[in-house]
Structure 1
Amino acid sequence: MPGGHRRREVARGARSRVTDGAHPDGPPQAPPPPGVRVPVADLGPGETRIFDYDEGGWDQTGFVVNHAGRLYVYTNRCPHVPYSLDFGDGELMSLDRRAVMCANHGARFDPASGRCFAGPPIGRSLSALPFERDGDAIVVAVRPRAQRSS
């Protein structure tokens, strides 16, 4: 990165902390965008990664899917019955890795559009989440899950 090096420390569902290694006379570094940072450098085609976030005080999960080399981000919730698409195991893809699949009812969704093409909510779509690329990660425009004390 011109003007200095940046190191990012990532915690699941938390904002990243940036350690700025710029020289004192270098240009100021922009803070990371707000949201949930999800590493995606090692996410291959047909693979997904689940992340946590907060929605109105409720713990939620979303997921990133790499489909044909492009990234798409959705809430981890079926539009048919609002359950997680997986059984908590993070497995969201059909066996052939061509469709996002609801483990509860077998509905299949196009990874690029989120639209259901087979199963109970046919014609309905997954809820997409906005995101930006940030180096080897994406930043999803959702509120990070609050850290809970034990």
Structure 2
Amino acid sequence: MADTFEPQVIPLCNSQDLVNSGEAVPFDVVYCGQTCLAFAIRYDAQVYAYLNRCSHVPMEMDYQPNRFFDLTGHWLICATHGATYSPRTGACQGGPCRGGLVKIEVSERDGVVHWHTAPQLHPVNF
């Protein structure tokens, strides 16, 4: 019998923990069988989440813990390579990229931000 994927909605943080173009909230996920860091941000009043992996070379992007926005507060930037990404879509906007960031579905309800599992994306203690 084949395993069936059951999506989960997992609480991540309080809504107030995410400020427009401010610090990210980090969390761990298992992506394609590997434990990885991920992050959630707020941009233009919406919440977004991505794996913390530059598409150029899969290394963590933050230049200081939980800091991903450039000085303008409008782009996510890889501290190592200078690649810039759209906070709304994760699409590469400039610099050395090979595609975009891996997006993680999130939702916000009753003052809490949640992330959603996917077939290739699970909680660490899955």
TM-score (norm 2): 0.77
Q: Which runs of 5+ in 1 are unaligned?
A: 1-32
The runs of at least 4 consecutive aligned structure 1 residues that moved more than 6 Å come to none
Please tell me whether residue 128 in structure 1 is matched to residue 103 in structure 2. yes
Q: Which structure would you say has the larger RCO, counting Cα contacts within 8 Å and 6 or more residues apart?
A: 2
CA contact (8 A) 1:49 1:64 kept: yes
CA contact (8 A) 2:47 2:106 kept: no
Q: Aligned-pair distance for 1:131?
A: 2.3
- Backbone CA RMSD of aligned residues: 2.2
Whole-angstrom distance in 1 between the partners of 2:31 and 2:93: 27
Single out whichever of 38-47 and 103-112 deviates more from structure 2. 38-47
- Structure with bigger gyration radius: 1
Whole-angstrom distance in 2 between the partners of 1:136 and 1:121: 35
Structure 2 match to 1:27: none
- State percent identity of aligned pairs: 25
Structure 1 match to 2:115: 140
Q: Aligned-pair distance for 1:116?
A: 1.3
How many residue pairs get aligned? The number is: 114
Structure 2 match to 1:97: 73
Structure 2 match to 1:58: 34
Question: Which has the larger strand fraction?
Answer: 2
